[in-house]
Amino acid sequence: MSGAVDLSALKARADAAAGPQQSTGAGHARGGSNGAGQVVADVTEQGFQAEVVERSTQVPVVVDLWATWCEPCKELSPMLEKLAWEGGGTWVLAKVDVDANPRIAQVFGVQSLPTVVAIANGQPVEAFQGGQPEPQLRQWITALVDSQRDQLPGIRVAEQGGDGSGDTAAEPEDPRFTAAEQALEAGDYAVAEAAYQQILDAEPANEDAKAALSQVRFQARAEAVDSGAVTRADEQPDDVDAQLAAADVEIAEQRVERAFERLVATVGRLAGADRDRVRSHLVELFELFPADDSRVATARRSLARALY
């Protein structure tokens, strides 16, 4: 979807709707009152020019196209909001309800939901469709910000502690999560894992900590695996370590179904402690995805058949 997309029609409609006595309207903003600099905003056709096109000349704007009936959107949108807050104004999130704003969806040629489009300097530069696990979502956003740092001045302003986001009313943070996230950003996976585990020890029902712990463990494993893991696993189907490493690589490369199929097949070939180990690893990979992800549902059924 990157490349030239004509957004002028949306600007014309916004200007017409605003009328001579009204400036270009912003969407409903969250976390502040300054419409020009929100970290997260609900955007309409009338606010699109100001909140997306003009804002994207300073920092990347990630447009989340969603609908209330879209189940994957219910998992992806909160993750995007969380990451936008963590981004500290280096990028902003523009949420668009496509049912209420069909012309925006039409301009972007949306074919399925959720669809996420990154805008920089008024044009799409990156996009994806469907749900994503948080580790991959973080990587996508990091790559986006890195690629635009030298083109968009607001990124460095925000990174240097300026008010590039225009927002100083961030939600209060749990210091335990803050410490874990800081360790994760520094690449200290062991410290981050210990921090999340400590939260879980105190609050076994804390779903945020549970999900974060799975993500940290996955990121640590995936970064440690070399590129030849899949080849070795294919050549050595009975090597449990090789199969687990290959599945991690395939998840990181977005070959999700292949990773699940690999581990389900491995479970079917094994017994005893090795079988339990592979099953546990597969279940942990499931936790990286939304509960209603069709790929997870299919793999869970296959795993049940392999076990019983």
pLDDT digits (tens, 9 = 90+) for 52-68: 988 999 999 999 999 99
Q: Is 70 a catalytic residue?
A: yes
Average pLDDT over residues 237-260: 90
Give me the catalytic one of 59, 65, 70, 285. Answer: 70
| pLDDT at residue 173 in the model | 65
Average pLDDT over residues 7-20: 47
How does residue 223 score in pLDDT terms, banded at 50, 70 and 90?
confident
Percent of the chain with pLDDT over 70: 84
Q: Is 73 a catalytic residue?
A: yes
pTM: 0.49
Per-residue model confidence as pLDDT tens digits over 164-221: 444 434 445 678 888 888 888 788 889 999 999 999 898 888 888 888 888 888 888 8
**Does domain 8-159 fall into CATH 3.40.30.10?**
yes
| pLDDT at residue 172 in the model | 56
Percent of the chain with pLDDT over 90: 45
Q: Where are the domains of the chain?
A: 8-159, 175-307
Average pLDDT over residues 279-303: 88
3-state SS, the chain, equals CCCCCCCHHHHHHHHHHHCCCCCCCCCEEECCCCCCCCCEEECCHHHHHHHHHHHHHCCCEEEEEECCCCHHHHHHHHHHHHHHHHHCCCCEEEEEECCCCHHHHHHHCCCCCCEEEEEECCEEEEEEECCCCHHHHHHHHHHHHHHHCCCCHHHHHHHCCCCCCCCCCCCCCCHHHHHHHHHHHCCCHHHHHHHHHHHHHHCCCCHHHHHHHHHHHHHHHHHHCCCCHHHHHHHCCCCHHHHHHHHHHHHHCCCHHHHHHHHHHHHHHCCHHHHHHHHHHHHHHHCCCCCCCHHHHHHHHHHHHHHC
Give me the catalytic one of 73, 145, 263, 288. Answer: 73
